[in-house]
């Protein structure tokens, strides 16, 4: 066999697996995508995260902006209990109150620290806790808790065709201040799209929240009555079982009625988060 023939045969042998993979991906996308997470012990990801929070509490406006770079590592994965560790590598945060913007010290408190949490196979997060001593954790938790608990979108763990939908109605949750939240989300698999050589599934999400219970604030305890509406979109990579991009926002209107009596305090909040796999 000549050298030229040997090279041609070698190229064909090398190309065949790639062709088969390409055909498999094409068929996979045509039949649907398996929306399932894949947690691999020792595997790590880096993300850029931006969070913007705006609130108007009875006419008193305030906001917070955060730009973070974080690493997320899978410590262990067994029987649907996946122990993860998020480390904040960089943080630039600012806050605005009464029209005055200043650097938010929360950013400096976060850098270099790690937070542990557990996630199940469909994306539900529990047991958020600092790794080791974390000065000011009670203050930090109010910021980092919603970021981590919403890190993983709810995946059905099954194949969904383009145009298909799934819903998620998690049990009622109570946040750090005592507010009870009931949520309903509708997910729609819109299309497959190429991005940096990857075939990514594009999904949109409509979210509706209802808020109740009692909220304990520095100004007192309030009865809560509120509604929230949000829209999210994310890009899911079937080849790795991970979300490559995510962007979402939710607007909340609440009436907070003082338990000591008086008129309700009208509260309006807006929360936007976006992240991208680096």
Q: Which tens digits make up the pLDDT trace of 233-261?
A: 999 999 999 999 999 999 999 999 999 98
> What size, in residues, is the chain?
278
Q: Note whether residue 153 is domain-resident.
A: yes
Distance CA 144, CA 86 (A): 10
Q: Note whether residue 219 is domain-resident.
A: yes
Model pTM score: 0.83
CB contact at 8 A, 265 and 222: yes
Q: Note whether residue 106 is domain-resident.
A: yes
Residue 26: pLDDT band (50, 70, 90) is very low
Distance CA 25, CA 33 (A): 10
Q: Which tens digits make up the pLDDT trace of 116-140?
A: 999 999 999 999 999 998 988 988 8
Dihedral, 175, 179, 182, 187 alpha carbons, nearest 10:
-50
Which residues, other chains included, contact 59 with Cβ-Cβ below 8 Å and sequence gap of 6+? none
Residue 99 confidence (pLDDT) above 90? no
Q: In CATH, what number is assigned to the domain containing residue 132? A: 2.30.230.10
Q: Note whether residue 72 is domain-resident.
A: yes
Three-state SS at 269: strand
Q: Note whether residue 12 is domain-resident.
A: no
The range of the structural domain enclosing residue 185 comes to 32-277
Average pLDDT, the chain: 88
CB contact at 8 A, 252 and 261: no
CB contact at 8 A, 33 and 236: yes
Q: Note whether residue 80 is domain-resident.
A: yes
Cα 131 to chain center, whole Å? 20
Say how many domains are in the chain. Answer: 1
Give the pLDDT confidence score for residue 30 in this predicted structure: 57
Q: Note whether residue 41 is domain-resident.
A: yes
Give the pLDDT confidence score for residue 3 in this predicted structure: 46
């Amino acid at each position: 066999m000549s050298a030229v023939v040997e090279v041609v045969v070698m190229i064909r042998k090398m190309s065949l697996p790639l062709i088969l993979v390409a055909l498999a991906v094409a068929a996979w996308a045509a039949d649907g995508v398996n929306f399932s997470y894949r947690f691999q012990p020792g595997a790590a990801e880096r993300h850029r995260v931006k969070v913007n929070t705006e609130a108007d509490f009875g006419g008193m406006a305030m906001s917070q902006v955060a730009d973070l770079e974080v690493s997320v590592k899978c410590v262990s994965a067994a029987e649907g209990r996946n122990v993860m560790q998020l480390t904040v590598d960089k943080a630039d945060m600012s806050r605005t109150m009464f029209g005055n913007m200043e650097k938010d010290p929360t950013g400096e408190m976060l850098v270099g620290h790690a937070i542990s949490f557990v996630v199940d196979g469909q994306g539900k997060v529990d047991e958020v806790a600092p790794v080791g001593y974390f000065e000011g954790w009670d203050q930090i938790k109010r910021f980092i808790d919603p970021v981590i608990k919403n890190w993983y979108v709810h995946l059905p763990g099954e194949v969904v065709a383009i145009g298909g939908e799934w819903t998620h109605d998690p049990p009622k949750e109570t946040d750090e201040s005592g507010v009870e939240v009931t949520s309903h989300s509708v997910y729609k698999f819109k299309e497959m799209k190429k991005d940096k050589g990857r075939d990514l599934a594009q999904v949109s999400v409509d979210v509706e929240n209802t808020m109740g219970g009692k909220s304990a604030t520095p100004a007192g305890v309030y009865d809560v009555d509120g509604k929230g509406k949000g829209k999210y979109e994310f890009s899911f990579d079937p080849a790795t079982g991970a979300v490559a991009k995510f962007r979402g926002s939710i607007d909340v209107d609440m009436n907070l009625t003082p338990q000591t009596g008086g008129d309700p305090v009208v509260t309006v909040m807006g929360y936007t988060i976006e992240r991208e796999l680096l």
